[in-house]
Structure 1
């Protein structure tokens, strides 16, 4: 059993997730935020924010962006929070390569998988092809292969991308059958929250401890998917402690830590030049466990912003 001192509990939420509509230009990124605040500290943060607005119900990031408390909020969380950002178009482009040029793995979309960045840059602007891929792999409630969708996929496939030249129709049909049959070995190609959770675990575990996750309710993060992800990460970092200690989903309205993560995710998704300096400490480009820092412990109390 893992010793108490060797694990940390974090709370997570996302902003910008739009289901399988991953190519909407109005919402180009997803942010997955996590905090290591204790419940009392998070409750104080939420109470401070609510005390300054007329409507005392759920406080949203849009309100905070227009508030004088924004800088206080981001400063208060510094050292106790992390944001993983997903470029949706790049995510889709990488899924094409991972699904049809190699054996899919739960490492796909994470720093543990193969680096397809060069091909992704060449592919990300082929929006017609990427849209055809999304349409083809949207297999929920599908019982038979959609041959018309495969036709569109091949009709729009770029001829100048060497990585895709060997992809055959038979190969695509075989993969689609596996997706339709819900092959547990294949990570869902249109669910970016799965690799986002992986990167979040790698960040907080830092090769030194395990992570207990409290997450806002998300249908993409099923028990089976999280278990398979946990197994992959444990094998990848061994002999270090397994990154995933436990995983529970909660109603965000009932956990102030998740509410704080939700606010941070919403703010981080709306990046502006004015916010860049305040947000920079929450992003981490190096996510391999040997390259990330261990966050400090949560404060007992938060410092209140001055009255305006």
Structure 2
């Protein structure tokens, strides 16, 4: 395990697969996976070198997961997953479920950087009602368009009209929702209120879950991550502060986040491979991944299931 001499912190290299910006309802990309690996650079470099030797490609700087999933690469895939046993984790986020939760977390609860994580599960039942509602796709699309405020300076009232027009009936948590409150939240998003996490960036809670998992309440986690525009300096700082307060007096889960070019860090390349494999196999993990499935990939039928794989 790659830890500091005092074991007060651990360095985890991360990458994702399936990130599609704010296009969260694309049926061709239903989940996003976020992988973390606990490897030293030489260990990761050796893994990548072995995989490249099994499938050499001229001019390629990275070995991608789609190559490992070819039938003729079954032995290499099994070897790779076996080699990572106990040294990696994967969190899987159903994007539609994520958006359903964000409706409640942003508009009904008080927004916080715990949104979308295991630290904030109080509103899952309400989110599940939205997820199962007839017409959910149109309603969730209206929510996404209303909260996509990056280039806005003023509240777009037509988008708020559509949000209320498509709101499903039979969701008790939304019955008391007023237009004035929704307008106020949207304005806070436009003004980049530091108390509100980005509503359409599942990488933020994915990073939080990875830090919480590897911290285990005993140590802090220094993350080395592939370059991602979603993980801005200010968002990471706010997330780090929230997590530290949420688990106090345990050590702060998230110590630092350093972003690197994945082509230059073999640990991130390994995380990218693992994330891609998990995303492509999420519907039928099979014997290679099923033993490490510790939670549902989709909205839980019971509301106490965890949400990740540990390999």
The normalised TM-score by structure 1 is 0.89
Deviation sequence 1:201-254 (CA, Å, 0-9, x none): 000000011111000001111111111111111111111111112210000000
1:113 aligns with 2:109: no
CA contact (8 A) 1:110 1:198 kept: yes
2: CA distance between counterparts of 1:115 and 1:73?
A: 38
Deviation sequence 1:55-77 (CA, Å, 0-9, x none): 15221100011113001000100
SS at match of 1:229: helix
1:85 aligns with 2:92: yes
Q: Shift in Å at residue 273 of structure 1?
A: 6.8
**1:67-146 residue pairs with structure 2 within 5 A?**
67-68=73-74, 69-125=76-132, 126-146=136-156
1:233/1:255 CA distance change after superposition, 3 Å: same
1:206 aligns with 2:211: no
2: CA distance between counterparts of 1:121 and 1:176?
A: 23
2: CA distance between counterparts of 1:283 and 1:227?
A: 31
Q: Shift in Å at residue 54 of structure 1?
A: 3.2
From 29, 32, 35, give the equivalent of 1:30: 32
User: Which stretch shifts more, 32-41 or 2-11?
Assistant: 2-11
Give the gaps of 5 or more residues in structure 2: 297-305
From 170, 189, 198, give the equivalent of 1:179: 189
Cross-structure match for 1:228: 238
1:136/1:273 CA distance change after superposition, 3 Å: closer
2: CA distance between counterparts of 1:280 and 1:244?
A: 28
SS at match of 2:102: helix
2: CA distance between counterparts of 1:189 and 1:273?
A: 26
CA contact (8 A) 1:74 1:278 kept: yes
User: Which stretch shifts more, 50-59 or 133-142?
Assistant: 50-59
Give the gaps of 5 or more residues in structure 1: 297-308
SS at match of 2:285: helix
SS at match of 1:166: coil
2: CA distance between counterparts of 1:43 and 1:204?
A: 22
The normalised TM-score by structure 2 is 0.88
Deviation sequence 1:56-99 (CA, Å, 0-9, x none): 52211000111130010001001000001101000000000011
Cross-structure match for 2:270: 260
1:147 aligns with 2:157: yes
Q: Shift in Å at residue 282 of structure 1?
A: 4.5
